Amino acid sequence: MKFVFKLAPVAVALIACSAHAADIKIGVTEALTGGAAQYGNNIRNGFVLAADEINAAGGINGNQIKLIVEDEQTKKEEAINAFKKLIFQDKVLMVFGPTLSNSALSAQPLAQAAKVVAFGTSNTVDGITDPGDYIFRDSVTESAVIPVTVKTAKAKLGLKKVAVMYANNDAFSKGGYDIFKKALADDHIATTDTETFSTGDVDFKAQLTKIKSTNPDAIVLSALIAEGGPIVAQARQLGINVPIIGGNGMNSPKLFTLAPGAASDNLWVGSPWSLSNDSPENTKFVAAYKAKFNANPDQFSAQAYDGMYIAAAAMKKVHFTGNLAKDRADLRNALATVKWTGATGPFKFVQVKNKAGKMAGYDADQTPIISVTKGGQYTIVK
């Protein structure tokens, strides 16, 4: 399924009056349907909002951004197909996405082989940028955020023992569990029980009943919101009212629908972004997002919004020649140097080494914010 957004009608007028104005085609591969659609659609919204604003302000040195959006349906094989189409058929300058780390691990190496920038805005598993120097992300890794979340929760809550739950068939959730496990050990927090589940499961009462019998001070949960929200709700139904500590998959307003009312209170998460951050850049973003989509943004729409502006800052440094291979390479070189302050705060890239010790792609260098839910919102922990 393909969605094409020809943004900012003013582009037509610009092309008519200038021989030099043209569309810059940017690929977007996100999960607009399937299990990760609650993330993918908000991510698409963030890209659309930013691209509309950039085009309305004159575009990229007079050229207009044209988003070509593909639905990867929360399926690795569809993400691969979308990357192939965008890179080789549509001949885009660069590709954003896919939504989940599972799909990124499968699809983004294709971009590296083709020497096309692949820019993830929601992938947090370690190793995403290992394929090489055309792979970028502005999503802060779980290995950078989770230890801070655990340390903060321990200091504020006095944690001594926790129970753990995670999805054992999903790269994001399994990777988050591994990082949680190390962080808990480093902070000398004992584990009373470890329970697993699979993505797509809907009944978690058996695991939660076992956890309740161990009387933990908190539950550590590595999950996507589709399963994480019901886990929170079912825990409260069973009378488990201890804090729940989640990874960034739990940083979604969808929680308040899946675990309504007080059931969603006392969830602790870390992220570079918070709705309640009152910085000028975030205040502007939140207001613009609400005006366009009649809803609050989330972490993933904020990272997509900033990602588009980061890419635009790099594109403005490139002298486009029409030689696609050269333009793609020049964009890669420019992107690595961008520093930006946006909805998620001050940002820059840092080049990392892969498992073989060789210089690879570019991760985000940002400071996480720890938030806790109360009354249907995420509030920054002071």
Q: What is the pLDDT of residue 22?
A: 82
pLDDT digit string, tens, across residues 157-200:
999 999 999 999 999 999 999 999 999 999 999 999 999 999 99
Structure tokens, 68: 């070509």
Measured CA to CA in angstroms, residue 379 lies from 212, 255, 373 at distances of 27, 14, 6
Q: What is the pLDDT of residue 179?
A: 98
For 219, list phi and psi in degrees, rounded to 5.
-110, 130
Q: What is the pLDDT of residue 3?
A: 54
Q: Are residues 358 and 265 in the same domain?
A: no
Give the range of the structural domain holding residue 230, as residue numbers without chain letter.
143-271
HSE of 111, CA atoms in CB hemisphere, 13 A = 40
Residue 43: inside a domain: yes
Confidence (pTM): 0.91
Residue 378: inside a domain: no
DSSP letters along 118-166, please? EEESS--STTTTTT-TTEEE-SPPHHHHHHHHHHHHHHHH---EEEEEE
Whole-number Å distance between alpha carbons of 169 and 150: 23
Residue 379: inside a domain: no
Q: What is the pLDDT of residue 93?
A: 98
pLDDT digit string, tens, across residues 148-164:
999 999 999 999 999 99
What's the Rg (C-alpha) of the chain? 21
Q: Are residues 136 and 148 in the same domain?
A: no
DSSP-based helix, strand, coil % in the chain, nearest 5: 45, 25, 35
Q: Are residues 123 and 150 in the same domain?
A: no
Q: Are residues 132 and 153 in the same domain?
A: no
Give the residue from 271, 292, 325 where a domain finishes.
Answer: 271
DSSP letters along 335-370, please? HTT-EEEETTEEEEEEEEE-TTS-EEEEEEE---EE
Give the residue from 249, 271, 293 where a domain finishes.
Answer: 271
Q: What is the pLDDT of residue 8?
A: 46
Whole-number Å distance between alpha carbons of 258 and 232: 8
Query: At 259, which CATH number?
Result: 3.40.50.2300
Whole-number Å distance between alpha carbons of 102 and 75: 9
Residue 381: inside a domain: no
Q: Are residues 332 and 284 in the same domain?
A: yes
Q: Judge contact between 83 and 95, C-beta under 8 A.
A: yes
Q: How many secondary structure helices (H) and strands (E) does the chain include?
A: 12, 16
| Ramachandran sector of residue 164 (left: φ over 0; alpha: ψ -120 to 50; beta: rest) | beta
Give the residue from 241, 271, 301 where a domain finishes.
Answer: 271
Residue 53: inside a domain: yes
Residue 327: inside a domain: yes
Q: Judge contact between 142 and 122, C-beta under 8 A.
A: no
Measured CA to CA in angstroms, residue 161 lies from 65, 87, 165, 246, 283 at distances of 51, 49, 14, 16, 38
Q: Are residues 294 and 320 in the same domain?
A: yes
Q: Are residues 90 and 159 in the same domain?
A: no
Structure tokens, 110: 């294709």
Parts of the chain with a pLDDT under 50: 8-20
Q: Judge contact between 355 and 297, C-beta under 8 A.
A: no
